């Protein structure tokens, strides 16, 4: 009798969700931040479609990313033959938008509005995102398939029920659908899967001189943590004995109460 591991079950569920999105919606794309979660999701997409990614991969570039992230993006996009779309809110950048004007304002202008511009330009009807419910409080309120209205807003109190994994893959009129294939994964699940699959993740996650990134994003809003974890096994061990938040080094989360939920209600990733 074949016994599935927890990782096998998570992998199968995620691949099922990815395929449901692709086969039920006409125009699909996925967001890729180059972080561990969206890179795992990209790996799952390639597994779902025999090594190929049959839809565009979007990166919203604020121009403030850690330079190694862009190097990693371009290298893997070429290696994996990705149809990469890089979006920027050029107008906001020309006007001098940056974190000094307020991190939440900056996120909304450079990330949310940057994504809106790409969605409208290419008329994508479904967007796959690599968010996890355990990462941050507002994400734990999400559904696997989550409708957004024409203003890209998330009506977090009016979400479709998903009983017994019956998903509503229906695009709202003048809006779009967001799919979250790894919503039920945890941070340690992600790292155990990276180890099992030997997924090439960016080396910012591994300790150098006693510091490493646990979560990566814009250089001005993301700091390192104190850590000696220089291998995947070290990171897994550290997480097994850790009681601090994964996003404790993301400064925009700390700017005001319910910061991330406020951003996400207005269309943030």
Q: What is the pLDDT of residue 246?
A: 81
| Entry pTM | 0.90
Q: pLDDT tens digits for 61-90? A: 999 999 999 999 999 999 999 999 999 999
d(CA 264, CA 63): 21
CB 228 within 8 A of CB 235: no
Q: pLDDT tens digits for 24-49? A: 998 999 999 999 999 999 999 999 99
Calculate ∠ Cα 219-220-226, nearest 5°: 70
Average pLDDT score over the chain: 88
Q: What is the pLDDT of residue 267?
A: 52
Annotated domain spans of the chain: 6-185+255-265, 187-251
- Considering only CA atoms, which of 111, 127, 115, 122 is closest in space to residue 177? 127
- Considering only CA atoms, which of 5, 6, 59, 32 is closest in space to residue 184? 6
Domain 6-185+255-265 is classified in which CATH homologous superfamily?
HUPs (3.40.50.620)
More confident of the two residues 131 and 104: 131
Q: Where are the alpha helices (DSSP H) in the chain?
A: 6-24, 36-48, 67-79, 90-94, 103-107, 113-122, 187-197, 232-240, 259-265
83: its two tokens = 């149809």
Q: How far is CA 51 from CA 43, 55, 79, 82, 244, in A?
A: 9, 13, 12, 11, 36
Q: What is the pLDDT of residue 255?
A: 46
More confident of the two residues 180 and 245: 180
Q: pLDDT tens digits for 147-183? A: 888 777 777 777 777 777 788 788 888 888 999 999 9
Please tell me the least confidently modeled range out of 13-22, 114-123, 193-202, 246-255: 246-255
């Amino acid at each position: 009798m074949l016994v599935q591991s927890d990782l096998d079950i998570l992998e199968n569920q995620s691949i099922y969700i990815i395929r449901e999105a692709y086969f039920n919606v006409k125009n699909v794309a996925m967001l890729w931040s180059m972080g561990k979660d969206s890179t795992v999701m990209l790996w799952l997409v390639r597994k779902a479609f025999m090594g190929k990614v049959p839809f565009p991969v979007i990166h919203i570039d604020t121009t403030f990313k850690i330079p190694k992230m862009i190097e990693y993006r371009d290298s893997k996009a070429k290696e994996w033959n990705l149809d990469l779309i890089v979006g920027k809110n050029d107008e906001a950048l020309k006007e001098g938008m940056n974190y000094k004007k307020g991190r939440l304002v900056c996120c909304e202008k450079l990330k949310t509005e940057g994504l809106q511009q790409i969605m409208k330009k290419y008329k994508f009807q479904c967007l796959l995102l690599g968010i996890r419910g355990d990462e941050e409080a507002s994400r734990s309120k999400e559904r696997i398939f989550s409708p957004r209205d024409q203003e890209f807003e998330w009506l977090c109190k009016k979400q479709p029920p998903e009983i017994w994994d019956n998903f509503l893959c229906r695009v709202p009129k003048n809006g779009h659908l967001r799919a979250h294939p790894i919503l039920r994964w945890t941070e340690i699940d992600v790292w155990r899967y990276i180890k099992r699959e030997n997924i090439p993740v960016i080396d910012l996650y591994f300790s150098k001189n006693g510091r490493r990134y646990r979560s990566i994003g814009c250089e001005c809003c993301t700091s390192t943590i104190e850590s000696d974890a220089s291998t995947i096994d070290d990171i897994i061990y550290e997480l097994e004995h850790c009681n601090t938040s994964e996003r404790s080094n993301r400064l925009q989360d700390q700017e005001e109460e319910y910061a991330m939920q406020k951003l996400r209600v207005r269309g943030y990733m």
